[in-house]
Every structure is written in C-alpha cells, then in structure tokens.
Structure 1
Amino acid sequence: MNLVLDESSTNREASRGYSWWFSGDAFERQAAQDRKPPRRNLSARLWSHPGRLTILYFFTLIIIATVLLALPISSHSRTATDPVVSFFTAVSAASTCGIQVVNTTTHWSMFGQAVILLAVQFGGFGVMTFASLIALAVNRHIKASQRMLTATEIGATKLSETKGVLNAVLVTTLLIEVITFFALFPGLLHVNHGNVRHALWEALFFAVISYNNAGFTPDGAGLHVNSWSVGLPVLLSAFCGTLGFPVLLNLMRAARNHTPPKRWTLHTKITLIATFSMVAVSLVWFRCVEWNNHTLFAHADLQTRIRYALTAAVMPRTSGFDPSWVPQVSDPTKVFMSAVMFIGGGSTSTAGGIRVTTFAVVLLVCRAAFQGRHDVTVLRKRISERTTMTAVSIMTTCLSLVFVVSVALMVVSDCSLSDALFDTCSAFGLGGYTVGVADQGDPAALLLLSVTMIIGRIGPMTIAYAINRPAQAEAVHFPEEPIIVG
C-alpha cells in the first residue's frame, strides 16, 4: 500500500492506465478526502435534497406570481393591488386551491388572469413532479435520491419507471386539457354570442383551471351550470384531475392492453371505489338536505335540480367552481362539505386534502381492529404496516392542523365554528370555496389561510416522505409493556 508505483511513459501503454490504483499518493488523496469531504455548492445541495428543491420551487412560483399580480398592469383599474390580496391570490393559484377574495372578472385584467392561469398550470404539475422535470432538463438524468422521492409522489413502483412516468404525466396533462379545450369551445362560443376571441380565451382558461381543480373563472357567469355543453366538460375534466396520475396511467394502459378491471392495481381500485362512493354520498346528501334550498335550486325543474345536485356533489371536493350558492347552505351541509374537502381527491392528483386512499386505509385499519385482526386486508390484498402508519400519521397531523387553524380563525375573525371549519378545510383541501371568512378586509385571516393552503399543497407529501425515507436499522429494542387505551 505504501509503495508508490508512478506510471512512467515506458509502461503507461502496457498498464493501460490502471497502475494509479496501486499508487501510494492515490491512497493518500482518498484518505484526505474521507477525513475532509469536499465542500458542495448550493446547486449540489439542492439536487441531493429534493425536498428542499421542491420548497424552493414552490415559494419561487408564489413570489413571482405575487410580484406580477401586485403590478398596476394586472388590474383593470391600472392601480397596484394590495400586497396581502396579491399574495393570497398567488398562493391560491400556485396551490391550485382557487379561493377568490376579489372578483377575477372585474378586478384582474387580461394580464392578471394570464398570471393566475400560469401559476395554476405550473402548480398543477405537482411540486415534486415539476422539480424532477427540471432535473431531467438540466442533468439529462435523475439521481437516485431524486428518483425515490419522485416515485413516491407520482406513483411509480420502480425507480426505472420514473422517467417514463414523468413524460406520461406531462403528456396526459396536456392531452386532457387540449381535449377539454375543444369540447368547451362550441358551447362557450354560443354562450358568448359568437365572440370568437372571448370564447377562445375562456375555453383555454376553463380547460387549464378545471383539470387542475383551481376554481378561478374568467367571467362572472362562473361554471355556466345552465349549459351542459360547458358544464359537463368542466365537470368531467375536474373529475379526471381528482383521480391522480397513477390511476389515469393505469386506466390508459389497461385500455390499451385490454386489461380487465380485476387486474387493475390495488391503488386504482381503492381510489375509484372511494371516489365514486364519496360522489354518491354527496349526491344523496344534497338531494335529501338541500333539495328545497331556493338559493341552490331556485325556480328549477326536476332535471335542472338533478344537474345542480350533481355539480354540487362533484365540485366541492376540490374544484371550487360557481361558489355563489355556498354561503346560503345550511350549517349541517357546511360541516359535511368541510369533511368532504378535508378528505380531498386521489393521491398525487391536482386535488388536495389527506387523499381518498389515506381515508380508505384508515377505515380499513379500524375495521381490522374491530375484527381483532393484525393484518389490514382489502380485495384479497394485504396492506403493509408502513402504509397504515403513514395513513394514520397523515390524518392525525392534518386533523390537528385544521383544529388549530379553525380556532385561530374564530379568534381573529370572530366567526362561527362552522364557518371557520369550512374555510379552513377549503384552504387545506384546496377546495376553492369560502363562506366569507376569507375577506380582503381581514389580512390576518388571509395570512392564516395562505399558510394553510401551502401546507395543504405540500404537507401530506412531506409527511409521507418523512415517514418513508430510508433510515438506519434500530440497534436497540426496548422491552414491551402494555398500556390501557380507550
């Protein structure tokens, strides 16, 4: 080891450059590097910690959108918008929440609406997904640590699938938005009385906003629920956006390979069952509780009431379109909608909340506990202990967050518990609705809800990564002793 075998010009060709492996100074340099690792620059630190890159990307998007929305050119009046309102709108757009404290039609100019649209689009790609796309563009490859976190976010089951899934995510998003655009244009052209320019802009706006479940609208008419030619494409696009990329990819692969439903992935089955169950329960709720609500179903026949009820059942989960009727519903419906928004949509989707799969796993854990079983099973499959721990941890943490923020809103805004709970769940679940707590005249409430939206966008993912990150094996196991619970 201590023998220095310097490669000379006489034996360099014969040794083919391998004699440095046995060089004493080579070992010394390696030992020195081990004792004092080389300093890494900021870029290297970010690439090696994808969570930091995600947070940096997300906050950069919010800052850029806030600055642009605060400019006079972003408002119709050509005056600077209040910084708190600009910040809240930027967070609402980047997180794909869609809560509006100013009228998007009358306050924001075409430039301001374009800023909101771009913030929604970039936010809708998914914080971690877009960070990985940046890594692909810069490095032409993804490092192992980046792949692991990205695979968790977008539902890839193998690290080798990550690149292909990222491309599929981008293509799927743009494809659904393009299809929605062409489906919306004829109906919007009729609604706008042949104004092609306005119809094109609204079709583009609705196509991006609906798939990303943001809820911003470029006109005062909202969702155009009176027109199926506009309302139905928006409804279907928003529903696809709540399923999540893994489900959409699995369904597309199944359709291409003619795979029967029984061979779909367990994640797809649970997501579809939970999603359709929530929509069905919501439809029954609005049919039974709010059927005689004159604000929601004013002067409507049976067919129109069913259409309104279907819209009310699908949209409150994450979309936030047409919020005019929300403050007029009863308190029980506000609490019910709060629970629906808290659960949210599918994992790795443009929706928010704790995700329907998380809620389903928690219910399955409760069922197993009541039946006295250790294994959590569903559809002849066993769910791992790590998954159940992640689901319970996410739900407990998020419930605590919603409780704390709701109480804080009651203190700063002097609102009722049902209203505070509703706006908190809407902000956390990225529902896009408000019953008046989010008001531009109450900066404290806006800042509280802004923080809640940020946590709702990246919080559950961060919790899941923190639980599932690689960790060292436990060297010591302490003795077990029972305690009494319940």
Structure 2
Amino acid sequence: MNDDFDENIGNARESHGLSWWVSDRYQRRADNTPRRHRHQTLSDRLLAHPGRLTIAYFADLIVIVTLVLLLPISSRQEGSTDMPTAFFTAVSALSTCGIPVVNMAEHWTIFGQAVILVSIQLGGLGVMTFSSIIALFISRRLNVTQRLLTASELGTTKLSEIKAVLQVVAISTFCIEAFTMLALFPGLFNLNNHHVGRTLWEALFYAVSSYNNTGFTPDATGLHVQSWAVGLPVLVAAFIGTLGYPVILNLTRCARRRDRPRKWSLNTKLTLVTTFALVGLNLVWFLIAEWNNASVFAQANPSDKLRGALSAAVMPRSSGFDLSWVGEVSDPTKVVMSAMMFIGGGSSSTAGGIRVTTFAVLMLICRAAFTGRSSVTVFRRRLPERTLITAVSVTIACFALVFCSAIALMIVTGRNLTDTLFEACSAFSLGGYTLGVASPDNPVTLFILAAAMIVGRLGPMTIAYAINRPHPSEPINYPPENIVVG
C-alpha cells in the first residue's frame, strides 16, 4: 500500500498517474476514521524525538562510566578515584576527546583502561548512530523521524538505505580498526621486547583510539608514535577517521563501481580538498616555524623532523597523541593549532570542531561576496541558502562557546589567553591535546572543559538539526530594507 501512494517518478507507472487522487482520498478517509489513543510510554516519547534520545543515551553513558571508574577495581591507587577525575575521564572518553588528567599506565588498572576503551568505541560510533542501532535491535525498525535525523548524520537522502548504512558503518569501523591493529603489531612487538600479551593490548588500544581520534593511550604519553612502524599506522588511521562516514562510504561505492573522481559526491570532493589543504598548510607552517626549535626537535635528524611535522599536521585536528612536545612550541604555533582544532574533521566523523565542510562553505561565501556573485557555487554546483545559513550559525555559536570557555579558564587559573584558548579549542573539537590547564587540583577547570566536550560532541549536530528541521512559514512577509554592513 505504501508503494501505491509513492508519488516519485519511479512509481508513476504503478500509480497510473492517479496517486495524488488516491492518496488524497485515502488521507481524507483516514482523517475521518476515529483513532484510538494509547498511553505513550517513556521509550515511545524518546523514540519520537531522536534529539532527546541522543542526549538521554549520552547522559546515561556518562553516569554509568563515571560510576564504574569510581570503583576501587578501576584504579591502581589506594581507595577510589575522586569524582571530578572520574567524571572528566568518562566525558573525555565518550566524546572521543581524550585529554588525560592522570597517568593512564600508573593510575588506571587494566580493568579501568578496558572501560575507557569501550567508552571510546561507543563514542566513536557516534551518539546518533549507536542509538539508532539500539533502536533497530529493540523494534527491528526505525520511525520516520529517527530515519531522517540519522540520514542527515550519515550523509544519505534515501530513507530505505538507513539500515544498510548503519550496518556498513559498524562493519567498516571494526574492519579499519582490525587492519590498524594488525599493522601496529610488528612495531609494538619489537618495542615491547617480544611480549605478546602487552603487544596485543597496546595494538588494540592504539587501533581503537587512533581511528576514533581519541588522545588516550595505554602508556599515557603516546611516545611510541615516535617510531615509524607505530606512528605511520596511527597517523593513517587517525586521518581516515577524520574524513567521516559519508566520505568513506562514497569512496568505497565509487571504487567498487570504478567511478572517476568527477563522479564523487560534492560532499566528498569538498571534504577531501579542504582536508588536504588544511593538512598541507599546517605541515608547511610547522616546518617553517619550529624547524630550529631545539625543545621540539632536540638532536633530531631530518627524517625525525618530518615525522614530527606530519604528526603535528594531522593529529591536532582531533587526535591528540604524543603530548611531549605540545608545551614546547611557540605561541604563534599554538594559535595555529587552536584554529586547526576549531575547524576539526569531516562531518559525521569521529572528529569534532565545526567540521571542514562548514569552514569550506564560509570560504566560499567570502569568495562569492568579494567577487560580486549572487550565488555560492563550487564544482559546478550551487549551494542552497539553507546550507549557507547553517554554516554561519554553527560557526558563530561554536566560537561563542569556545571564547566563553577560554575566558572562564583564564579567570579560574590565571593562565594567558593563548593557553586557555588552546585548551578550550582542544576540548570543544575533541582534539585531546593539553597544556596542563585542566588539573584535578582545580576541579572547576575539569567541569568547564567537560561541558565544552559535551557541547562539542552534540552541539554542532544539534544546532544543524534545529536549523534544518521543518518550520512553519511566517504568516507575514515583511518588506525588505538594506542596512550598512562593514
């Protein structure tokens, strides 16, 4: 019956061109039919509002993980972990940020590290994606509202593809992590003096943490990435994780069909071009600004400097491995890194930030304004006005959050704006790098950054959904009038 009332072009023959009449008659008959209202349960109300389900799911996970980390079995220290540290670590893991405030190897037991690893995996799969998978297992189907929001996050416009997309997302995630783990094993095996058990654990932890762009590492410092055998797989996995599920799925489908790059979707083209441009710009800046910095490249040969520059070009956008050099860079480099973290990775990816496509749209708006064009175009496609409004709104709201968080950290800690802005951008963009602004000795800093992480994980998606959901048209069309801008 549903196909008979489908008025798309592909169903025109089956409906004999009368679907509009039949569906209208059916709708009037349905409206006149008395309906039996049943009492809605809490689960019904949550499934009817995916945004609320996402927040509830995320909040429940934070509570559960915090309580588990408070258990004495999770900590190597005598007694249990203090509440602010456990809460901050839970939020940092679930948001895939990974800012450490305690030494991972010395503070957390294997059980505690396993809890953090599972939290990273749940956060990396995506709050909305994982909640949709749960809904599939519960009801074996998704309602229309849930499908629409999930379609927006996963980059597909066909509601019938949602179940298949969710399966591909889960399968691709585990496959990429498995390949990364296999690639990491030989290098870690040599570094761990051929200790099989420790190597397997570190390979698994690094694989999950790198693809999900989380700064947590089993040794708390990430110094293993100084080895090419370990650093290169981590670098590649982190880069793939920043592209986003829509890009990975589109590239996979085009490769299967052997399509040329011009057949790629506009989202894929814009994401790849902007990502490579940002990585290249960051790489050139770091090589020029920090090449002679003895604190960063102490007694390093050109090969080690290139590895460090590649790590600095890719990791700050959302990964946060190897914290040893971050505090030694110059203030201009900290500002550049803050900007890169604020931009973040691709849409619907494990990265955070305002997303590279949002930044690309802002640049395209500026180009159109400076060249006097009335429309914003790229790759022979015109961007709709709603996309432009969304990009500007998301950027302004997120910048206000980061700025307020930086000012709050300045007041609480007395640190300069460069350091607090760096820390706020790292928390919001889920970058994982830290300059030591957050400390268990000052719990207020932990709560400020935790709030920035939560908004960074949910905020851009929530703002974009609020802007793009259907709204009733304004009852009055007011006359236009220009104002002076600039």
TM-score (norm 1): 0.92
Are the aligned partners of 2:100 and 2:220 in contact in 1 as well (CA < 8 Å)?
A: no
Q: In the TM superposition, what are the counterparts of 1:374-393 in structure 2 within 5 Å?
A: 374-393=374-393
Are the aligned partners of 2:345 and 2:352 in contact in 1 as well (CA < 8 Å)?
A: yes
Match of 1:441? 441
Q: Distance in 2 between matches of 1:38 and 1:120?
A: 39
Q: Distance in 2 between matches of 1:146 and 1:228?
A: 43
| 1:481 corresponds to 2:485 | no
Once structures 1 and 2 are overlaid, which stretch shifts more, 216-225 or 240-249?
216-225
Q: Distance in 1 between matches of 2:32 and 2:132?
A: 37
Match of 2:83? 83
Q: 1:30 aligns with which of 30, 34, 37?
A: 34
Q: Distance in 2 between matches of 1:137 and 1:38?
A: 23
Q: Distance in 2 between matches of 1:29 and 1:268?
A: 47
Match of 1:425? 425
Q: Distance in 1 between matches of 2:132 and 2:430?
A: 23
1:244–1:482: structure 2 CA closer, same or farther, 3 Å change rule?
A: same
Match of 1:452? 452
Structure 1 runs not aligned, ≥5 long? 1-25
| 1:264 corresponds to 2:264 | yes
Are the aligned partners of 1:217 and 1:223 in contact in 2 as well (CA < 8 Å)?
A: no
1:372–1:67: structure 2 CA closer, same or farther, 3 Å change rule?
A: same
1:147–1:29: structure 2 CA closer, same or farther, 3 Å change rule?
A: closer
Match of 1:123? 123
Cα distance per residue 1:334-378 (max 9 Å; x no partner): 111000000000000000000000000011011111112121001
Q: Give the CA deviation at 1:40.
A: 1.4
Q: Distance in 1 between matches of 2:231 and 2:176?
A: 16
Once structures 1 and 2 are overlaid, which stretch shifts more, 467-476 or 165-174?
467-476
Q: Give the CA deviation at 1:39.
A: 3.4
Q: In the TM superposition, what are the counterparts of 1:91-240 in structure 2 within 5 Å?
A: 91-220=91-220, 222-240=222-240
Are the aligned partners of 2:221 and 2:323 in contact in 1 as well (CA < 8 Å)?
A: no
Match of 1:51? 51
Specify the code of the residue in structure 1 equivalent to 2:371.
Answer: Q
Q: Distance in 2 between matches of 1:264 and 1:296?
A: 40
Q: Give the CA deviation at 1:201.
A: 0.3
Cα distance per residue 1:301-326 (max 9 Å; x no partner): 11111111111111111000001111
Structure 2 SS opposite 1:30: coil
| 1:281 corresponds to 2:281 | yes
Q: Distance in 2 between matches of 1:356 and 1:413?
A: 31
Q: Give the CA deviation at 1:476.
A: 1.8
Structure 1 SS opposite 2:224: coil
Q: How many residues align?
A: 457
Structure 2 SS opposite 1:296: coil
Are the aligned partners of 1:274 and 1:356 in contact in 2 as well (CA < 8 Å)?
A: yes
Q: Distance in 2 between matches of 1:459 and 1:281?
A: 27
Q: Distance in 2 between matches of 1:28 and 1:195?
A: 73
Cα distance per residue 1:197-252 (max 9 Å; x no partner): 00000011011000000111101551413321111101100000000000001111
Q: Give the CA deviation at 1:440.
A: 1.2
Specify the code of the residue in structure 2 equivalent to 1:247.
Answer: V
| 1:369 corresponds to 2:337 | no
Specify the code of the residue in structure 1 equivalent to 2:34.
Answer: Q
Match of 1:40? 40
Match of 1:248? 248
Are the aligned partners of 2:124 and 2:350 in contact in 1 as well (CA < 8 Å)?
A: yes
Match of 1:307? 307
Structure 2 SS opposite 1:224: helix
Q: Distance in 2 between matches of 1:157 and 1:253?
A: 15
Q: Distance in 1 between matches of 2:167 and 2:407?
A: 43
Q: Distance in 1 between matches of 2:227 and 2:420?
A: 33
1:292–1:390: structure 2 CA closer, same or farther, 3 Å change rule?
A: same
Where has structure 1 moved over 4 Å in runs of 4 or more? 26-29
Structure 2 runs not aligned, ≥5 long? 1-29
Q: In the TM superposition, what are the counterparts of 1:9-20 in structure 2 within 5 Å?
A: none
Are the aligned partners of 1:223 and 1:230 in contact in 2 as well (CA < 8 Å)?
A: no
Are the aligned partners of 2:225 and 2:234 in contact in 1 as well (CA < 8 Å)?
A: no
Q: Give the CA deviation at 1:269.
A: 0.5
Specify the code of the residue in structure 2 equivalent to 1:271.
Answer: T
Match of 1:3? none
Q: Give the CA deviation at 1:38.
A: 4.2
Are the aligned partners of 1:84 and 1:446 in contact in 2 as well (CA < 8 Å)?
A: yes
TM-score (norm 2): 0.92
1:371–1:81: structure 2 CA closer, same or farther, 3 Å change rule?
A: same
Match of 2:15? none
Q: Give the CA deviation at 1:185.
A: 0.8
Q: In the TM superposition, what are the counterparts of 1:307-326 in structure 2 within 5 Å?
A: 307-326=307-326
Match of 1:12? none
Q: Give the CA deviation at 1:28.
A: 9.8
Structure 2 SS opposite 1:156: coil
Q: Distance in 2 between matches of 1:264 and 1:104?
A: 42
Q: Distance in 1 between matches of 2:374 and 2:387?
A: 14
Specify the code of the residue in structure 1 equivalent to 2:466.
Answer: A
